[in-house]
Amino acid sequence: MAEGGEAGAPPVRLWVRRVGVYCDEHRKTWLVAAEEEEGMLRARIQRVQVPLGEALRPSQLPPSRLPHMWQLSQGEQYRDSNSRVWEIEHHLMLGGVEELLLKLVPGD
């Protein structure tokens, strides 16, 4: 695991605004990138200030393995808009940037 400082509480909800840009309940912007290694899907999410811009409807977005929304669930998990569970691998500050790394939990 990468080393870093405490980041406080993770966002409760993240909604897609446009490709690669999500917004939380405080209107803070997060850049999201999908990573896949050995068949395991992860989402690297970093809080970076970017212009919100015009929000796109889900039907306007290209196909993606990432969901349109994540919501913090019990424990160290998020549930996405497709009812999939994502485990928080880490949530910390790296070089002054808040980072959240989520791993998709394999379904039944």
Examine the pLDDT at 2 and tell me if it is beyond 50.
no
Please tell me the distance from the alpha carbon of residue 22 to that of residue 66, in angstroms, as a whole number: 11
Cβ(69)–Cβ(79) below 8 Å:
no
Least confident residue range of 3-7, 47-51, 103-107: 3-7
Domain-wise residue ranges, the chain: 13-105
* Mean pLDDT value across residues 11-23: 95
Cross-strand partners of 42: 35, 103
Q: Model confidence over 54-106: pLDDT tens digits?
A: 888 888 988 899 999 999 998 789 999 999 999 999 999 999 999 999 999 99
What does the buried/exposed string (b/e) look like for 6-21 if buried means 16 or more CB atoms within 10 Å of the residue's CB?
ebeebbeebbbbeeeb
pTM: 0.88
Domain 13-105 has CATH 2.40.15.10: yes
Measured in residues, the chain has a length of 108
One-character DSSP codes across 29-74: EEEEEEEEETTEEEEEEEE------PPPPGGGSPP-SS-SEEEE-S
